[in-house]
Amino acid sequence: YEGRTPLLQADATRYRYSPLLAYILLPNIWLHKAWGKLLFSGLDLVAAFVLRAWLERYAGDDPTTVKVGLCLWLFNPFCFTISTRGSGESVVVLLIYGCFWALHVQRRIPLAGCLLGLAVHWRLYPVIFGLPLALSLGPPGRCRWPWQRLLHSGGLLF
């Protein structure tokens, strides 16, 4: 191996995604080549429904905030281009939105923790939401230091 590990010997053998992605994309082989694109586009729509429930909880009687938030998600060319090309990022977004919904709408902390853990398993970057989410568990009035208020609002606004 000339000083290299067996995993680095052949570039084609490295798989850097969750094995769950490979399993949910098996119908690409069995059903149709566009399975992943349809699945991820559908998950974008499901994420929009979860986002709507979360926004309605925080917007109160302001339907404009909900509509603008949904439009920013659904009509963002970056988001729908990634999903329609077959990238699994919509799964991460759905898990993060689900975590926010479970934590802030349903107040189901164990479910929120499981969803965040699954999102971190899928991709590593959702771990950055852990601290703001933990700080958002308490009421905003209990934050004594300015950095706590900043992290609290960051966890709510994402």
Which CA distances in Å does 109 have to 43, 83, 134?
A: 23, 29, 10
Average pLDDT of every residue of the chain: 76
* First-to-final CA distance of the chain: 45
Instruction: Look up residue 157 and give its amino acid.
Output: L
pLDDT at 113 over 60: yes
The predicted structure's pLDDT at residue 158 = 45
Helices and strands, counts by H and E, the chain = 10, 0
pTM of the model: 0.72
What band does 93 get if pLDDT is binned at 50, 70 and 90? confident
